[in-house]
Structure 1
Amino acid sequence: MELSRVNKAGLVIAFLLGLSDIASAFSPTPDGAESGPPYAILLIDAVLGVITLVAVVWAWRTGRRGAVRIAAGARIISMLTALPAFFVGVPAALQFAVGLFVVVTIASVAMMLVPSRRPVPVSD
């Protein structure tokens, strides 16, 4: 299948989100800090980031929808791990950052999964 510009833009955003997930494992929440994800969640997100990167590269090179779906699934699971920030006492700035992450993730997934426009064959 041929990836459209919108699909490719979604893949690029997913790639950047995957990189940020991997980087977050190297900057854990300091001991004694009241806000921030547990280190186990950061490790899970790092694994999901690696899955995202591999799937995005695979989708970009082959155009396979299965790879796009794997990247989208990894992004959705990563987003779900961030949602508890809305239900526990965390600072407003962190909630804003998580909200922005959720919105960007949803946009990325939607862009990756939008069907590419193909011309309808005309039969005689």
Structure 2
Amino acid sequence: MNTTSDNSPHGRQKAGLVLAGLYSLANIPSAFFPAPDGEEGPPLEILVIGSLLGVVGLVAVVLAWRTGNRAALRVAAGAIIVVTLTGLPAFFVDVPAGIKLLVGLSVLLTIATVVLMFSPTRRPEPVLD
């Protein structure tokens, strides 16, 4: 009996899921390390949202990896997209260039991750005799 399903993630989707999992995992501790007093940084509410979305994204990645569930794939993508959107105000306020660079890299990472997660499977073309 074959236990694999047609919905199981393939190579590119697995790569996207790994990136989404790592990105989600990196966001989980953000609420525990707010900006020190007197320094600029994201509000604590944004950090808490990022941590919660990190947990949601990580759980969704695990479910999508193990079951191939398309809804879990969408939730994982949505979680990393919203986390990335919360960083975009950094482009419009006076913050160090290094922070703007990190936000820009997170935008590129999110785009690449979502593209990989939803990439179609390659099906061999039929050979015509």
Q: How does 1:36-75 map to 2 (within 5 A)?
A: 36-75=41-80
Aligned to 1:110: 115
Relative contact order: is structure 1 or structure 2 higher (C-alpha 8 Å, sep ≥ 6)? 1
Please tell me whether the aligned partners of residues 2 and 116 of structure 1 are also in contact (alpha carbons under 8 angstroms): no
Residue type at the aligned position of 1:25:
A
Aligned to 1:23: 29
Query: What TM-score comes out, normalization by structure 1 length?
Result: 0.91
Query: Is the aligned partner of 1:82 residue 2:87?
Result: yes
Please tell me whether the aligned partners of residues 8 and 65 of structure 2 are also in contact (alpha carbons under 8 angstroms): no
Indicate which of 95, 101, 105 corresponds to 1:100: 105
Change (3 A) 1:76 1:118: same
Separation (CA, whole Å) in 2 of partners of 1:15 and 1:2: 17
Query: What TM-score comes out, normalization by structure 2 length?
Result: 0.88
The structure with more radius of gyration:
2
Structure 1 alignment gaps of length 5 or more: none
Separation (CA, whole Å) in 1 of partners of 2:19 and 2:45: 24
Separation (CA, whole Å) in 2 of partners of 1:112 and 1:79: 16
Q: Sequence identity of aligned pairs in percent?
A: 58
Separation (CA, whole Å) in 2 of partners of 1:33 and 1:75: 26
Structure 2 alignment gaps of length 5 or more: 1-6
Separation (CA, whole Å) in 1 of partners of 2:98 and 2:25: 22
